[in-house]
Amino acid sequence: MAEKLHVVMLPWIAFGHMIPFFQLSVALAKAGIKVSFVSTPKNIKRLPEVPPGLEDLVEFVKFPLPSLENDVLPEDGEATVDIPAEKMEYLKIAYDLLKHPLKQFIADQLPDWIIIDMMPYWMVDIARENKVPLIHFSIFSAAAYVFLGHPECLVGDGQKRLRPSWTSMTSKPVWVDFPSSVAYRNDEAVGVFEGIYGENASGITDGERVFRILNGCQAFAVRSCAEFEGDYLNLFERLIGKPVIPVGLLPREKPERKQFTDDQPLNARYLVEKGLGVEIERGEDGSFTRDGVEKALKLAMVSAEGKSLREKASEAGVLFGNLKLHQDYYIGRFVDFLKEKKRNV
């Protein structure tokens, strides 16, 4: 009897990231794959329970979050939800120190695959040293990654040419060769630009983290499906020159507290583009009025003009709720990829 495939999962320590990684872990376990889910003790304690019957296939691996000098992080703060925004850069420093125990863990376990988030760029070297193939799993949409994650626009001269300032994030990128309204508003772009390209105490920008991971991974997996954003999936595969694998629309669970992520405005634009949503009119500073909210709600829910939107939303609901499509087809294809490519690594 062949040994089960073993996958190590390493998400960033934000619940908006850990929950999708947990859901993917469960989906892979249902397909018979052994999963080691790595995080800190407090974060693992706050995750949902593994469904009955899968306890032997989903293993939680706990590494304490390293402490920093001068107690710059709150005591017991192990996730973004626990940390004030002005101290987030120090959470990245503590997270990066996990590379030391993880280096030993990977060397001891020698899993078949490592699946990582957008932050642990140092896993590229660890995977290479141990000859373990690496996949970058995005919790963001393919549309958001096409807009934000073109490797050429993340670092160096390419960034200076393609993304010289926040204003370059307010219109369709030159590399998108089909109609698209996915872009940031002025008030959104300023903060997102600083978050991706701005220096921080960890010594590496978020843009460079993603660049190194995209460069070093063997494939890119994304929580999406071809029925929903096929054009963006195909384009991103061309942009990175590596397999882009949709794993289906994994069920979302609510984080403990609502957290802003950089792709939320882009997803809103994409839903409008697809005829699945209505965007509330806003001022230049991002503010909106009661009348604007009322107008958007009426259009979406009761007006004759919103009939097409409601019909499309109903169709999308059927697509999003098609568990057989997402688990059997998309997860099934992902599992086939893991098995087939492992044999060829």
Which sequence positions are flagged as catalytic? Answer: 17, 117
- Is residue 172 within 8 A of residue 235, CB to CB? The reply is no
CB-CB neighbours of 267 under 10 Å: 16
Q: What is the Cα–Cα distance from 100 to 158, expressed in whole angstroms? A: 32
CA angle 113-10-104, nearest 5°? 75
Structure tokens at 342: 């492992």
Q: Give the H/E segment covering residue 60.
A: strand 58-62
Q: What is the Cα–Cα distance from 251 to 84, expressed in whole angstroms? A: 28
**DSSP assignment of 84-142, as one string?**
-GGGHHHHHHHHHTTHHHHHHHHHHH--SEEEE-SS-TTHHHHHHHTT--EEEEESS-H
The position carrying tokens 């499906």 is: 225
Sign of the alpha-carbon torsion through 309, 310, 315, 320: positive
